[in-house]
Structure 1
Amino acid sequence: MSSGIEHEDRFRRVYAGNFQPLLAYALRRTEQPEDAADVVAETFLVAWRRSYEMPADAEVRLWLYGVARRVLANHHRTGLRRERLGERLRHRLRDVVAADPGREVPERLAIQAALARLGELDREVLTLTIWEGLEPREVAAVLRVNPAAVRTRLLRARARLRDLIGDDLAPSGHVLDVLKAPAAKEGR
Structure 2
Amino acid sequence: MKAWQRKTSLTGPRVKAVMESHEVQILHALVSNIVDMLEQRRDSAPRDELAEITGMRSGHSELPAEAPLARLLPDFHRPEPGSASDADAAAVARAHNSGMRMLHEPEIIDAKLAAASTVLRSLPARGGTVSLSPEQAQAWMGCLNDVRLGLGALLLEAGAVDGVPATDIPEYVEEDDPRSAHLDVYHWLTFMQDSLCSVLTGK
Q: Is the pair's TM-score, using the shorter chain for normalization, greater than 0.5?
A: no
Q: TM-score, normalised by structure 2?
A: 0.30
Q: TM-score, normalised by structure 1?
A: 0.32
* Rg larger for: 1
Q: Which has the higher strand share?
A: 2
Q: Which has the higher helix share?
A: 1
Higher relative contact order (CA 8 A, sep 6+): 2
